[in-house]
Amino acid sequence: MLKEFAADLHIHTCLSPCADSEMIPPNILNMAKLLGTKIIGISDHNSAKNLQAMIEASRNYEILVLPGIEVQSKEEVHVLCLFERLKEALEFQDFIYSHLPQKKNYPQYFGHQYVVDAQGNVKGEEERLLIASTDLSVDEILKNAYKLGGIVIPAHIDRNTFGILGQLGFIPEYLRVDAVEFSKNISLKEARGKFPFIFDRFPVIFSSDAHCLKDMVFQKTYFLLKEPTFEEIKKALIGIGGRGVVLRE
């Protein structure tokens, strides 16, 4: 029997310099529980260093945490890369770090990049600037994420900055992605009216891209699944066996 599970696949922790310090594992999970969100994707900028803490903290909740990274390509396109297990996400992080410039973060200008434990206690700070572009093309990011069994989704395509349409002007025909994401800044009706060709061509999700807790209230995406697992989500994006994506305003 299939059931609907509310999902938000794009949430930042306090590791991302543009996110609030309140974005620690217990707070994120408690807000998700309050909202009834059953599946969350943790997608910090170019790094996976808070994923272990999020997964450990989630053991006390009936919430599936998908380990992910929001990668910034050399074209300044943001791409969500989500994985089934922490192991693959950390392996992908090593690959991303090898293509990230050796620039130091200056918290007074860009914000802190806190690495925390499952309780949200600060263990340290990532010194490398995480909001820089990698030297990887969108195609190279996809290719390497897929090698690790990942789900790949161009982020907030309705935005002029860091969205694939705003940066490239189009989505190349050869580019194989699992879905595309719209941001909280556009309604479902507006998205359908402005981007009908996207709905004709790709599975679509909406995410909060939450950088603070109040952002998480923008809940529009539900997965129709047998159970909340990574493999079931993959099947839903393809539409296997009645599974699918349900969008609501």
Give, for all 249 residues of the chain, the pLDDT tens digit. 999 999 999 999 999 999 999 999 999 999 999 999 999 999 999 999 999 999 999 999 999 999 999 999 999 999 999 999 999 999 999 999 999 999 999 999 999 999 999 999 999 999 999 999 999 999 999 999 999 999 999 999 999 999 999 999 999 989 999 999 999 999 999 999 999 999 999 999 999 999 999 999 998 999 999 999 999 999 999 999 999 999 998
Cβ count near 59 (within 10 Å): 9
Give the angle 229-207-126 at the CA atoms, nearest 5°: 85
Residue 73 near residue 46, CB atoms below 8 Å: no
Residue 245 near residue 233, CB atoms below 8 Å: no
Residue 24 near residue 210, CB atoms below 8 Å: no
- On the 0-12 / 13-18 / 19+ scale of CB atoms within 10 A, 247 is middle
Cβ count near 46 (within 10 Å): 24
For 60-208, where are the E strands, in sequence order? 64-72, 78-82, 114-116, 122-125, 151-154, 180-182, 204-206
Using alpha carbons, list the distances in angstroms from residue 52 to 19, 24, 48, 164: 18, 12, 8, 29
Superfamily of domain 3-247: Metal-dependent hydrolases (3.20.20.140)
What angle, rounded to 10 degrees, do the helices at 138-147 and 86-97 form? Answer: 150
pLDDT at 249: 85
Least Cα distance to 42 among 14, 21, 18 occurs for 14
Residue 177 near residue 78, CB atoms below 8 Å: no
CA separation for the pair 123, 129 (Å, rounded): 18
